[in-house]
Amino acid sequence: MSPAARPLVRPRRPRPGDRVAIVAPSGPVLRERLDAGVDVLRGWDLDPVVMPHVLDVHPHLDHLAGTDADRARDLVDAWCDPTVTAVLAARGGYGAQRMVDLVDWEALRAAGPKVFVGYSDLTALHRAIADRLGLAGLHGPMPATVSFLKDAATQDHLRRTLLAPETVTEITSPGARTLVPGRARGTTFGGCLSLLAGELGVRGRLPACPDGGGILLLEDVGERPYRVDAHLTHLLRSGALDGVTGVVLGSWHDCGPYEEIREVLLDRLAPLGVPVVEEMGFGHGPSTLTLPLGVPATLDADACVLTLEEPALA
For residue 219, indicate whether it is catalytic: yes
How many residues are present in the chain? 314
| Annotated active-site residue in 26, 53, 120, 223 | 120
Helix intervals (H) in the chain: 31-43, 68-80, 96-99, 105-111, 123-128, 146-150, 152-163, 193-198, 225-238, 258-269
Q: What are phi and psi of 199, to 5 degrees?
A: -85, -10
Angstrom distances, CA of residue 178 to CA of 44, 73, 231, 247, 266: 35, 43, 22, 11, 11
Handedness of CA 295, 298, 304, 310 (dihedral sign): negative
| Annotated active-site residue in 58, 126, 139, 219 | 219
Q: How far is CA 164 from the centre of its chain?
A: 19
Per DSSP, 214 falls in state E
Separation CA 2–CA 100 (nearest Å):
18
Catalytic positions, please?
A: 120, 219, 284
